[in-house]
Structure 1
Amino acid sequence: MSLFAQCAPPSRQVKTAEVSDVVARAMPQADYRGQRLLLIIPDHTRTAPVGLMFKTLHAHLAPVVKSLDVLVALGTHVAMTEEAICERLEISLAERRDRYGQVRFYNHEWDNPSALRQVGTLSAEEISQLTQGLFAMEVPVEVNKLVFEYDQVVIVGPVFPHEVVGFSGGNKYLFPGVAGPQILNFFHWLGAVVTNPMIIGNQWTPVRQVVDKAGALVNVPKICFCLVVEGHALAGLYAGTPEGAWAAAVELSRQLHITYKDHPYHTILSCAPKMYDELWTGGKCMYKLEPVLADGGELIIYAPHITEISLTHGRVIREVGYHCRDYFLKQWERFKHYPWGVLAHSTHVRGIGTFENGVERCRAQVTLATGIPEDVCRKINLGYRDPRSIQPEAFANREDEGVLLVPKAGEMLFQLKHPPVWAGGRA
């Protein structure tokens, strides 16, 4: 049974004392005496009071456990520095050296085979069942081997609508958070084949089925704290198994993180917050808004601070560019050898479209108003606007004209009250 603390209007905020109470009830000190605990947390690209959770867990458990260490669930994101992890945990460098001096920090290494352990294989038959017949192939399941050096894994992270899996959280902090490349690439491409509008904001998706099946192969005791935030405030906290806590948190996330609109917009200015420091993560500013972008419309990712496509995957993205799903599916022999996770990112940013007789027709235009040069934008098949030419306030209060301004995009999902049927499926 899941434990939870959930805000009640008008406060919209779980109190610190309630957080302490949930932690104490979910993890009684007597049950963890002398144990080694590994805390798995998201990196800086997720809004959540991770610091509050870390400090509460540490205050409660450090007096009795043998060790309490931190592993950052990077997926394929860039490793965080010691200073950046401290910022994520909301502690100072002085506190790091003093109060938290015994805590070890680790970054996940998805591309280092020696850092991974294979825990099993999802058979072709299982994959066929889980994906409703879309795929039938064996998928090796690898995870960071650090998890097996501890008596308990403690997952802490927020739940939001998500373009690949439906809603983030739960076992997603294992897969792809601390996973190996084969399972990671597979289920990202699975999500791309289903398409973002058909995945995002839906609870039980084929990708979630794969993620939970892979999570079951990690034979280490696990407890999960799922956080639901509104703005920067903690609106809900759920503790239990990764599956149970996540399922409970989804219900609140659905209420708080989905905004329904009466009509689509021909122009959307989607402003990326500073936590998205490259297009690889800044692409979320498209994912969450594609459902309300009109056919033939333009979505502008406004992020003057973004100067990189991706430090990890930039070379491959420059080779393949940004295209709709069918561009890759109908030329599969040409593209199947590229990392499937990169192909998935490409389709999510570019959106729904078709590829017939060698001609790609995307449903809408995606334009970058970033620090990425115009020639690079054109080469990767995206539009370009000089960010200096854009005044965000000029897009405000114009929804009746078909213009939408989203000042902090990437986590709040926008959907139509009456979605249309597109070539890629119903939104």
Structure 2
Amino acid sequence: MELFFREQSPEGLSKEDILKGLKQSLEGKTLKKVLLIPPDFTRFHSNAGLITNLYYHLLKDHVQVDILPALGTHEPMSSSELDEMYGDIPHDRFIVHNWREDIVHVGEVPGDYIASITDGLWDRGVGMEVNRLIMDPNYDLIVSIGQVVPHEVIGMANHAKNVFVGCGGKTTINQSHMIGAVYGMERMMGKDFTPVRKLLDYALEHFLKDRPLIFVLTVTTAPKNVIKTHGLFIGDTRKVLEAAIEVSQQKNINFLDRGIKKCVVYLDPKEFKSTWLGNKSVYRTRMAIQDGGELIVLAAGVTKFGEDQRIDQLIRKYGYCGRLNVLELFKQNEDLQKNMGAAAHLIHSSSDGRFNITYAVKNITKEEVRGVHFNAVDYDEVVKKYDPTTLEPGWNTLSDGEEIFFIPNPALGLWIDKNRF
């Protein structure tokens, strides 16, 4: 099954367009129990919340509907976040994914295959784990819902990633992230057929081929914080991912004629509460910022570094100290070896001295931020000059003549200086 819907107007697909696609995806199916796997609040602008709500109302009168948000390592969603993202779905339909405990081992991708797709940079087998509900034979249909967008670990987010990482276990998440970090994010971002993508493709084909799994993928932008759905791609084959990637590369990758000297990125406080998430500001701009440039991150909502206590402790202990330093620390320290995802995050989040990273904060101390090797300034002071409510996306010339590049949400794109690409 393959259903492709592309934008019909400058406003993107309407709610009616989306509903039509979802209805078609259910045609001919006799269902008693369905599992929906949408992203969590960190993908609010995916429009997956609307899609989840529509599926729920299409099914609820004759089918048991369970919803497993693909949290990955993120903290569980609050009641207010559930309401804002998914609408009027009763909270008792939601199940919290625990990446450390609620998982089952489904197979191992062999080390020789890993070596063949990483240019020999990683040759260990990778154990694949998923939430136990995904393997529950009582589900007649499992619907993985999510957004295809450039991503630092896999190249382009979603499809099998939503299942094996969003609903994955410690082993899979840690090793897949480390493979991406060792291979190099700038070799992968915005591209298909990366090593991590091939790893997850292999696992999907070999370990979940008998599960009743379909993918519902969106491509969105959010100018002025209004979601526009440019494409909806539904099916049980890889072709739906490839079709979505084609549209996302057009809509979500921004090639610039010149590098950015000063980049200002706004993190919505409702969406970004940690540097684990907020450092998308680093990942998604690093290929656009000039050597010697500066990234200013407006991070009023950031209160911590990691999404759970253990990862937070590791970030505080080692800090964002650069790729080569982290690789050396990884060799020497068992706590990083046991938490490869944290080590990978430390690698991804450093500019390696190429440009300066400054967090503007108000709910975490500047001393804490400086302790992890970022610069820190007071949020309320910085926004007097760089006010996110008045800046336009892209290039801005301020009243004092300074030129900056403003990004209102780093999660929705990738910015590249085409002269460096």
What is the TM-score normalised by the length of structure 1? Answer: 0.88
Contact 1:287 1:410 (C-alpha < 8 Å) held by counterparts: no
Relative distance call for 1:132 and 1:2 in structure 2 (3 A) is farther
Quote how far apart the aligned CAs of 1:58 are. 2.4
Cα drift, residue 336 of structure 1:
5.6
Rounded to whole Å, the distance in 2 between the matches of 1:50 and 1:405 is 26
Give the secondary-structure state (helix, strand or coil) at the position aligned to 2:68: strand
List gaps (5 residues or longer) in structure 2.
Answer: none
How far residue 402 of structure 1 moved from its aligned partner, in angstroms, is: 5.4
What is the aligned-residue identity percentage? 28
Contact residue 132 and residue 206 of structure 1 kept, 8 A: no
Matched with 2:373 is 381
Aligned length in residues? 397
CA distance in structure 1 between the aligned counterparts of 2:131 and 2:159, rounded to whole angstroms: 16
2:23 counterpart letter in structure 1 = A
Q: Over residues 241-282 of structure 1, what are the superposed CA-to-partner deviations in whole Å (9 max), with x where a residue is unaligned?
A: 262222111111111111111111221111112211211111
Residues 19-418 of structure 1 aligned to structure 2 (within 5 Å): 19-28=18-27, 30-33=28-31, 35-46=32-43, 47-65=45-63, 67-91=64-88, 96=90, 104-112=93-101, 115-149=102-136, 150-216=139-205, 217-218=207-208, 219-231=210-222, 232-241=227-236, 243-274=238-269, 275-312=271-308, 313-335=311-333, 337-338=335-336, 339-351=339-351, 353=352, 362-371=353-362, 372-390=364-382, 391-393=385-387, 397-398=396-397, 403-418=404-419
Q: Which amino acid is 1:375 matched to?
A: E
Between the aligned partners of 1:55 and 1:76, the Cα distance in structure 2 is 24
Cα distance per residue 1:43-68 (max 9 Å; x no partner): 10011222321232223333443x11
Superimposed CA distance per residue, residues 67-121 of structure 1 (whole angstroms, 9 cap, x where no aligned partner) = 1110010000001234432322122xxx628xxxxx6210110011xx2110011
The separation in 2 between residues aligned to 1:165 and 1:14, in whole angstroms, is: 27
Matched letter for residue 378 of structure 1: R
Contact 1:166 1:200 in 2 (8 A): yes
Secondary structure of 2:273's counterpart equals coil
1:423 maps to which residue?
Answer: none
Q: Distance in 2 between matches of 1:141 and 1:59?
A: 33
| Aligned-pair CA distance for 1:342 | 0.7
Q: Deviations over 1:179-225 (max 9, x none)?
A: 01111111111111222222211122111111222223124121010
- Please report how far the alpha carbon of residue 127 of structure 1 lies from its aligned counterpart in structure 2 after TM superposition: 1.5
One-letter amino acid of the structure 2 residue matched with residue 164 of structure 1 = V
* Kept after mapping to 2: 8 A contact 1:286/1:410: no
Asked if structure 1 preserves the Cα contact closer than 8 Å seen for 2:326 and 2:346, the reply is no
In structure 2, what is the Cα distance between the partners aligned to 1:171 and 1:209?
10
Unaligned runs of at least 5 residues, structure 1: 98-102, 354-361, 420-426
Change (3 A) 1:266 1:40: same
Which stretch of structure 1 is more off in the superposition, 229-238 or 397-406?
A: 397-406
| Letter of the 1:205 counterpart | T
TM-score in terms of structure 2 length: 0.89
Look up the equivalent residue of 1:340 and give its one-letter code. Answer: M
Change (3 A) 1:406 1:213: same
Matched residues in 1 for 2:90 and 2:109: separation?
Answer: 40
